[in-house]
Amino acid sequence: MSDAEQDRIARLLREQGQAEAPPELARDVMAQVRREPQSTPDRRGINWRPVAAWAAVAAVLLAVGVGIATRAPGGSSSSAGSAAQAEVAGAAGGSKASPPAQVEDNAAAAYTVDRSDAEKLLSGSEMHAPAPNGTITLDRAQWNKVRAALATAAARNPHPQNPVVVRLRPK
């Protein structure tokens, strides 16, 4: 649009003034508005799909972590603790307990106890300093003397802060 056309339109607006709408126009427009359905905003609330997806991922990661923890090497403390609890429970049951079966000479014949408990239990015997991996290996005679006390100590404190594994020396 050129400047001349803009000047002409501005002059006509000044001369004629503001135009009046027909009186029935406002009434017709309002009637049309009332006839049309009004749209209401959707009030869905929280979108649960992303929340459920994150919860599923968290559950899978938790299951994987528990699976790794139960299959990790060096889990002798839980098995030793369970064996010790079973032995203590059997002895406290009031029924005649059968004599303990001969323990096989393997790595499963071990208890994880606190270092201070191990020092107390093994103070009378020739206790060697624990190996760098925190293991004390006993011969059959030493093992037979302290086995019940080790089981009790392992049951009392299944997850010691300063653990030592006391184990029977294989043949």
DSSP 126: -
For residue 136, what are the β-bridge partners?
A: 166
pLDDT in tens, 55-75: 999 999 999 999 888 886 654
Q: Which residues contact 161 (CB under 8 A, 6 or more apart)?
A: 114
Query: Residue written as tokens 């004599």?
Result: 99
Count the neighbouring beta carbons within 10 Å of the beta carbon of residue 17.
7
The pTM of the full predicted model, rounded to 2 decimals, is: 0.35
**CA dist., res. 68 & res. 105, Å (int):** 27
Say what the pLDDT of residue 103 is. Answer: 43
User: Taking the chain (171 residues) in consecutive chunks of 10 residues, what is each chunk's mean pLDDT?
Assistant: 89 82 87 85 77 94 90 55 50 47 52 84 68 79 83 85 81 68
Which amino acid is located at 139 in the chain?
D
Q: How far apart are CA 129 and CA 134, in angstroms?
A: 9
Which residues share a beta bridge with 71?
Answer: none
Give the up-direction half-sphere exposure of residue 156: CA atoms within 13 A in the CB hemisphere.
9
Which one, of 137, 166, 163, 162, lies nearest residue 149 by Cα?
A: 166
pLDDT, position 68: 87
pLDDT reported for residue 107: 41
Is residue 167 within 8 Å of residue 137, measured between CB atoms? Answer: yes
